[in-house]
């Protein structure tokens, strides 16, 4: 589609788009990135990775920017998976849009700042039309949901209030006496429940501080972390158990037991094996993220081969 020339439309467009996709959405993402650049919009293309890793990275960067001038674009097979993981970051409102009407409604009602598209069900021409609608639609503007008419005053008031009310959802209740506790160690003693790490079987984690992120992490005996890397370096101290860390970037192996400390620099690819139920404290230099460089089965095979060769 031709670039919109209306000053009003142009003024609603972000100055920068952070884009990424998985292998099923890569071709469509590349088409949309080219279109964005033809509109003189700055694009930071993060390339291709697993749908959850790339969407999380786009979401993290949009969240960190915390500006209406920076939005995100993510693509996978359905457009749903990338939307789920981009939305895990504060201030990110990712919407899967399969039609231009979806995009109009998402911008008008939800103030969407990350567009998620389907690489398997949306043609390039349709995707460009969806993207243009999403770029050129201001928050609270007329849209299909409003009958393409201006919203009435009570709805406008509701939409305005939503901007301050939505961020409160999921936060601790102010009526909870424990919500005033600020000491991470005190909180940990009161509640040792850890949340499962969905990406790695056998792992669980309790975030103690958001940014820079610190956490208590626990893995069951026999668990394996596939080779992965982080945007930020991290320090860890083993509190109980036994583990080995293979730093594949440096070609070094570290056997860690209770009390041992290890620092892994940003970007270093490493895999981990847990021999016992293990718990450790970890602190990243920035926000937590995780980018996998192999799958779980490949990691298990590599570790078994390494351990077998060491015992022979």
Residues annotated as part of the active site: 76
Task: Tell me the three state secondary structure of residue 200.
Answer: coil
Count of CB atoms within 10 A of residue 273's CB? 24
Distance CA 82, CA 77 (A): 9
| Alpha-carbon span 124 to 175, nearest angstrom | 50
Q: What angle do CA 11, 64, 47 make, to 5 degrees?
A: 85
Can you list the positions of beta strands (E) in 142-233? 195-196, 203-209, 214-219, 224-229
Region of residue 40 (left: phi > 0; alpha: psi -120 to 50; beta: else) = left
**Rounded Cα distance, 51 and 72, in Å:** 14
**Nearest C-alpha neighbor of 238 from the set 282, 208, 206:** 282
State the Cα torsion 112-116-118-122 to the nearest 10°.
50
């Amino acid at each position: 589609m031709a670039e919109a020339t209306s000053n009003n439309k142009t003024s609603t467009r972000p100055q920068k788009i952070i884009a990424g996709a998985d292998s099923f959405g890569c071709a469509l993402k590349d088409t949309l990135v080219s279109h964005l650049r033809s509109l003189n919009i700055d694009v930071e293309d993060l390339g291709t990775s697993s749908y959850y890793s790339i969407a999380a990275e786009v979401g993290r960067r949009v969240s960190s920017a915390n500006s209406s001038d920076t939005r995100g674009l993510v693509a996978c097979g359905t457009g749903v998976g990338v939307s789920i993981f981009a939305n895990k970051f504060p201030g990110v409102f990712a919407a899967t849009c399969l039609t231009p009407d979806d995009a109009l409604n998402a911008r008008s009602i939800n103030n969407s700042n990350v567009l998620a598209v389907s690489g398997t069900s949306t043609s390039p021409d349709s995707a460009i039309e969806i993207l243009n609608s999403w770029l050129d639609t201001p928050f609270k503007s007329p849209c299909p949901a409003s009958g393409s008419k201006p919203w009435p005053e009570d709805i406008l008031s509701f939409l305005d209030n939503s901007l301050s009310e939505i961020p409160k959802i999921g936060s601790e209740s102010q009526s909870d006496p424990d919500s005033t506790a600020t000491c991470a160690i005190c909180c940990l003693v009161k509640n040792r429940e850890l949340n499962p790490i969905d990406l790695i079987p056998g792992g669980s984690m309790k975030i103690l501080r958001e940014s820079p992120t610190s956490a208590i992490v626990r893995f069951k005996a026999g668990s394996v972390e596939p080779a992965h890397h982080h945007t930020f370096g991290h320090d860890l101290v083993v509190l109980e158990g036994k583990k080995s860390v293979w730093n594949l970037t440096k070609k070094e192996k570290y056997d860690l037991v209770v009390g041992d400390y290890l620092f892994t620099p940003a970007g270093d690819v490493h895999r981990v094996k847990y021999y016992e139920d293990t718990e450790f404290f970890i602190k990243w230099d920035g926000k937590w993220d995780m980018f996998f460089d192999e799958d779980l089965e490949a990691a298990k095979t590599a570790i078994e081969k390494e351990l077998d060769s060491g015992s022979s």
